[in-house]
Amino acid sequence: SNAAYTAIRAAQAQVRAQGVHPVPVPLRNAPTKLMQELGYGDAYQYSHHGAGNFAYQEFMPDALSGTRFYDPGDNPAEAKIRERLRAWWQEKYSY
């Protein structure tokens, strides 16, 4: 399906409409002492250390928390993706 393409287009439209939002602090790199002192990256959870290689954490900027861009298509392969997303995110994105 074209679900991934549609998601990319929706994300691009969001940026055009609202501009760029700050990266969440837990996802920020901390190459300097000041950034480390400010807590950049402190709460980051490495997904590959989580069960099923997934860590429940916010990847979106605060202003977009809960926004869903990807909507799996109506075919058997993407139905499996939808189920996995539902298991990972529970009710957050209403998969």
Report domain extents, the chain. Answer: 1-22+60-95, 25-58
> How far, CA to CA in Å, does 78 sit from each of 41, 53, 73, 82?
32, 19, 6, 6
Q: What is the CA radius of gyration of the chain?
A: 16
CA–CA separation, 68 and 84 (whole Å): 15
Reported as a single tens digit per residue, the pLDDT across 68-85 is: 999 999 999 999 999 999
Residue 45's pLDDT band (cuts 50, 70, 90): very high
High-pLDDT (> 70) share of the chain, %: 100
This model's pTM is above 0.85: no
Residues 6 or more apart whose Cβ sits within 8 Å of residue 60:
24, 66, 67
User: Mean pLDDT over residues 44-51, rounded?
Assistant: 94
* pLDDT at position 80: 97
User: Mean pLDDT over residues 1-15, rounded?
Assistant: 97
SS3 of 35, please? helix
